[in-house]
Amino acid sequence: MNLGFARSCLTRNSRIPNNRRYSFKFFAPGLLYSHYGEEDVDRARFIAGARSLDFSLDDIQEILALREQREAPCRVVLDLLQEKADEISRRISELQRMKAELHDPHRLSLTFPTDDVDGKNCVCHLVSEHPVKTVN
């Protein structure tokens, strides 16, 4: 396995072509071409796909290590997919709650003057009075 090739595929937007033979030209003295086997390409394709699903580099490293130890990483991948889906659901719920919180002051502020420099009787007052959430 050529680790340089795998590392080059760790960027979020990596694309791996579908053909079976790969050659990459280098402009260094003595290194004109490097040839990568099918295993290298499959690994790079997995890395690119995992990054596109927002798997962390540590997660990918763990999965690849399991494969190298001849252990099936399927359970780990399934758990990570579920964690990501749950995380997205939590974030969507949080964003929907925030959206509702924004609509209430907006509707109320439409009745307020927009020229209150001191901010005592305008939308700025509503924002100042909005409860601050503490982070645990």
Degrees (nearest 5) of the Cα angle 36, 56, 88? Answer: 130
Supply the pLDDT for residue 19: 45
Supply the pLDDT for residue 87: 95
Mean pLDDT of 105-132: 75
Q: Which long-range contacts (CB under 8 A, 24 or more apart) does 120-123 make?
A: none
The per-residue pLDDT for range 88-107, each reduced to its tens digit, is 999 999 999 989 888 877 78
pTM: 0.57
| Domain residue limits, the chain | 1-71, 89-136
Query: Residue 23 above 50 pLDDT?
Result: no
Mean pLDDT of 25-53: 75
